[in-house]
Structure 1
Amino acid sequence: MPRKYLLLVLVALGVIVLDQWTKYLVVRELTTRFDDRPTLGERLSAMYGEPPPQGVYGLHYRPKRAIEILPEFFRLRYAENPGAAWGLFRTLPPNVRGPLFHVVSLAAVVFITWYFSKLSGKDPQERWALWGLPLVLGGAIGNYIDRIARAFVIDFLEAHWHDKVAWPSFNVADSAIVVGVGLLLVDAFVRKEVPKKDAPSAADARS
């Protein structure tokens, strides 16, 4: 396997594993979903199986607590997002939202993989894209796993300002996508195409 594809697989897989592991911990620590399920198999079945109907606060999993990291700025609190990033399209009917996200997610995976295949893996200026694309790919797949399993994404990172202004909740997959897109923006400014040498003129050919 070429080294660049090894990087793609390892980074994307690392993001997926970290994303799903943190979501498991959040469901275990911040909701009651696993309270009557002592074994790992039962918990995974509950997390990736059909979710219960919406209950308290419109959530499928009942929250039991939040963890204050910086009381006036940042906390861990369970949240569900049936829409796209920052809750976009969450008001669409499920029969429209579901197929739309499936198509968009699969198209993103295909496009990222195709674009990554165009990189030589040898040009130092490609380093931003070589790291950015796998991060976006891993984040996209991490959230797509949530959508396939339960039709909503688990979020838990909540930044706020004294509870007066809050950034929409996000997760590890979202963070990887944001960092990856940032690296791709840097790549767009840093990497320049090498200009092709002008073809020799007729006068040069005769000389």
Structure 2
Amino acid sequence: MPRKYVILLALTLGVIVLDQWTKYLVVRDLTTRFDGATTLGQRLGAMYTPAEAAGRYGLHFQPRRHVEVVDDFFRLRYAENPGAAWGMFRDLPPNVRGPLFHLVSLGAVLLIVFYFRKLTGTDPAEKWALWGLPLVLGGALGNYVDRVARAFVIDFLEAHWYDKAAWPSFNVADAAICIGVGMLVVDAFVRKEKPTSEPAKA
């Protein structure tokens, strides 16, 4: 298997596993969803089955507590996002939002794979795209797992400024996407298309 596909598979799967594992820990420690579930299978079933109607606070999984990591700046708090990044389109009707996100997610996966196939995997100038595209792919698939399982994405990383200003809650998949997109922006500046050399005129 070519080296570039090893990188694609390893990094994409690594992001998905890390994303889902951290979401599992958040549901286990910060919500009541696993109350009464004594085995790993029961917990995974509770996490990946469609959720019932939203309860208190408009959430499907009820929060138990949150963790202040850095007072007045950063905390871990369970949140649900039925929309796209930063909550966009969350107010769309579910029968419109669901198919739209499925279409966009699958389209993004196909586009990423298409561009990744064009990489040689041996050109040092491609390193930003070689590592950035799998990060974006892993993040997109990590959040897509959430959407397929329960129609909303679990977020839990919350950066804020004394609760007066806050960055929208995000997760590991979102962070991977942002880092990957940043690397692709760098790639756009670093790697230029070489002009096709014209045959010398007689």
Q: TM-score, normalised by structure 2?
A: 0.99
Query: Is residue 6 of structure 2 the alignment partner of residue 16 of structure 1?
Result: no
Deviation at 1:50, TM superposition (A): 1.8
> Secondary structure, in 3 states, of the residue corresponding to 1:169?
coil
1:179 aligns with 2:197: no
| Secondary structure in 1 matching 2:192 | coil
What's 1:51 paired with?
51
CA–CA distance in structure 1, aligned partners of residues 111 and 26 of structure 2: 31
1:122-153 alpha-carbon deviations (Å, 9 max, x no partner): 11000000000000000000000000000000
Separation in 2, partners of 1:140, 1:76: 22
Distance 2:191 2:49 in 1: 44
- Equivalent residues in 2 for 1:153-164, closer than 5 Å: 153-164=153-164
Per the TM alignment, residue 34 of structure 1 is displaced from its structure 2 partner at its CA by 0.4
5 Å-filtered alignment, 1:1-207, equals 1-202=1-202
Q: Distance in 1 between matches of 2:72 and 2:96?
A: 38
Residues 135-191 of structure 1, C-alpha deviations (whole Å, 9 max, x = no match): 000000000000000000000000000000010000000000000000000000000
- Give the aligned residue type for 1:137: L
Aligned residue type for 1:36? G
Displacement after TM superposition at 1:200 (Å): 1.2
Residue type of the partner of 1:32? T
Alignment-mate amino acid for residue 176 of structure 1: A
1:163 aligned counterpart, secondary structure:
coil
For structure 1, the residue ranges without an aligned partner over 5 or more in a row are 203-207
> Residue 182 of structure 2: SS of its match in structure 1?
helix
User: 1:11 Cα deviation (Å)?
Assistant: 0.2
What is the RMSD computed on CA atoms of the aligned residues? 0.6
SS in 2 for 1:52: coil
Hey, what's the Cα distance between the residues in 1 that align with 2:91 and 2:109? 25
Could you list the runs of 5+ residues in structure 2 that have no partner in the other structure? none
Q: Which has the larger radius of gyration?
A: 1
Alpha-carbon shift at residue 38 of structure 1 (Å):
1.0
Deviation at 1:192, TM superposition (A): 1.1
In 2, Cα distance between equivalents of 1:55 and 1:85: 23
CA contact 2:77–2:158 (8 Å) conserved in 1: yes
Aligned with 1:155: secondary structure? Answer: strand
Tell me the matched-pair count.
Answer: 202
CA distance in 2, matches of 1:49, 1:173: 20
Does the 8 Å CA contact 2:33/2:62 hold for their aligned counterparts?
A: yes
- Structure 1-normalised TM-score? 0.97
CA distance in 2, matches of 1:58, 1:192: 48
